[in-house]
Amino acid sequence: DAGVIQSPRHEVTEMGQEVTLRCKPISGHDYLFWYRQTMMRGLELLIYFNNNVPIDDSGMPEDRFSAKMPNASFSTLKIQPSEPRDSAVYFCASSLAGRLYQETQYFGPGTRLLVL
């Protein structure tokens, strides 16, 4: 398997624009996680899915952020409208079924987002 795939790897956009980040988890993994990493706040869990269903979105910073998982092989994280403070590295991770956080999470390479 190619591992967790994220696209784009880098994104530069202007404030107010819509940004869509994409993730393809490892085949057969039932859990999918979206994280954000900044120098100020470190690594934070935004939302996670189990079998395509959002389970906990309490980490989503505000209504401008939304995430979907229309099928087992694809998820999106959308920011609309984007703001400079959204600039960060966004990671997607997936893990096998089982108890949450009992299975190893496999991280994608991340998307570096810069909002000007």
Partner 1 sequence: KQEVTQIPAALSVPEGENLVLNCSFTDSAIYNLQWFRQDPGKGLTSLLLIQSSQREQTSGRLNASLDKSSGRSTLYIAASQPGDSATYLCAVVGLKTSYDKVIFGPGTSLSVIP
Chain positions contacting partner 1, by CB under 8 A: 4, 42-45, 48, 55-56, 58, 91, 93, 99-102, 104-110
- Smaller CB distance to partner 1: residue 65 or 108? 108
CB of 47: closest distance to partner 1 in angstroms? 10
The span from the CA of 28 to the CA of 96, in Å, is 7
Asked if residue 93 lies in contact with residue 36, where contact means CB atoms within 8 angstroms, the answer is no
- Smaller CB distance to partner 1: residue 15 or 101? 101
CB of 18: closest distance to partner 1 in angstroms? 24
Residue 48: C-alpha distances to residues 12, 42, 69, 80, 101 (Å): 25, 18, 10, 19, 11
